């Protein structure tokens, strides 16, 4: 088990970035990066997405101390981030759970990246369509 702070520091070092360079890529202060690397604070969700992108790792890797693979679920990050932007943390959790639950359908089989992307896009489109229809029908954004 490796905590968030160590993962950030290690990934930054592997990329040969200084704390200042990483801060510029993420759009935060150097002080924020120092605080993350000391384990004093976790970033907000929006910053976590940018941090993972800058470090070329998945959000799951950074946020789950038990995750050892830096690329685990990285192909889901864009969809989760989009759901978070449009529907908040509940939307992000919904999409994460939908994608996780449905990838079990392909257990034992190998999918190309193109096939995974098509599947994830289809799930995302269905989710957004349902959310928007619910908004029209019930007059609220259903992200609460």
Positions of the chain with pLDDT under 50: 142, 144
Output the pLDDT for position 101: 79
**Distance between CA 70 and CA 59 in Å, rounded?**
9
Output the pLDDT for position 77: 94
The CATH code that applies to domain 4-63 is: 1.10.260.40
Output the pLDDT for position 49: 95
Output the pLDDT for position 104: 67
Output the pLDDT for position 100: 81
In the chain, where the domains are located? 4-63, 74-138
Q: Which of 126, 132, 20, 134 is nearest to 79 (CA)?
A: 126
Q: With a threshold of 0.75, does the pTM exceed it?
A: yes
Sequence-ordered list of residues with C-beta below 8 angstroms from that of 32, at least 6 positions apart, any chain: 23, 26, 41, 43, 47
């Amino acid at each position: 088990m490796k905590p968030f702070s160590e993962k950030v520091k290690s990934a930054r070092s592997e990329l040969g970035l200084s704390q200042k360079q990483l801060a510029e890529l993420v759009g935060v202060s150097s002080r924020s990066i120092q605080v993350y690397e000391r384990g004093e604070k976790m970033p907000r969700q929006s910053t976590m997405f940018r941090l993972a992108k800058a470090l070329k790792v998945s959000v799951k890797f950074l946020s789950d101390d038990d995750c050892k693979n830096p690329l685990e679920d990285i192909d889901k990050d864009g969809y989760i981030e989009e759901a978070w932007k449009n529907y908040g943390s509940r939307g992000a959790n919904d999409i994460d759970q939908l994608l996780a639950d449905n990838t079990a359908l392909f257990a034992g089989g190998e999918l190309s990246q193109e096939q995974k992307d098509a599947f994830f896009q289809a799930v995302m489109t269905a989710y957004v369509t349902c959310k928007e229809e619910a908004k029209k029908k019930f007059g609220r954004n259903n992200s609460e």
